[in-house]
Amino acid sequence: MNFEKVVFGFFIILALTLNFGFFLGEIDNPAHHNVYELFAAIVVNLLATVLKFGDRTQTGALLLATSLVAVLQLFAAAAVWAYAVNISATGLDAMMMASIVSLAGGAMLANVISVILLIADTVNLRR
């Protein structure tokens, strides 16, 4: 068993599951979405992105692209959250929370694609 591939797969799947955990719940209810879970999703997605830099294959390029999309979406979600809490006169209302969760949903979709690519690449190695 290749330990490097285990760590690589671990972070890709952890990024998806953390993102899913944040995404799950009523879209406009701030009580269902924890800011620390969003922060954890951002950190793990950044780690997964760094791990994808070494692969020079076409699949590696697609994995990196999906990871960059996920990180961009999660940073945008964090920026909206920071704006809602610190700048907006209305605060963290239902509309802002729906925007944050929607952006995290886009990141989750990118993470799903990344996991599918990882599985497809693994299946192709056996043949």
Phi/psi at 54 (5° precision):
-80, -20
| Domain residue extents for the chain | 3-126
| pLDDT tier at 126, thresholds 50, 70, 90 | low
The answer on pLDDT for 2 being more than 80 is yes
| Residue 28: closest CA among 99, 108, 87, 117 | 99
3-state secondary structure of 1: coil
Q: For residue 25, is it left (φ>0), alpha (ψ between -120 and 50) or beta?
A: left
Q: What percent of the chain lies above the pLDDT cut of 90?
A: 82
pLDDT at 127 over 80: no
The average confidence (pLDDT) of the chain is 93
Task: Kindly report whether the global pTM for this prediction surpasses the value 0.85.
Answer: yes
What's the pLDDT at 109?
Answer: 97
- State the pLDDT at residue 125: 76
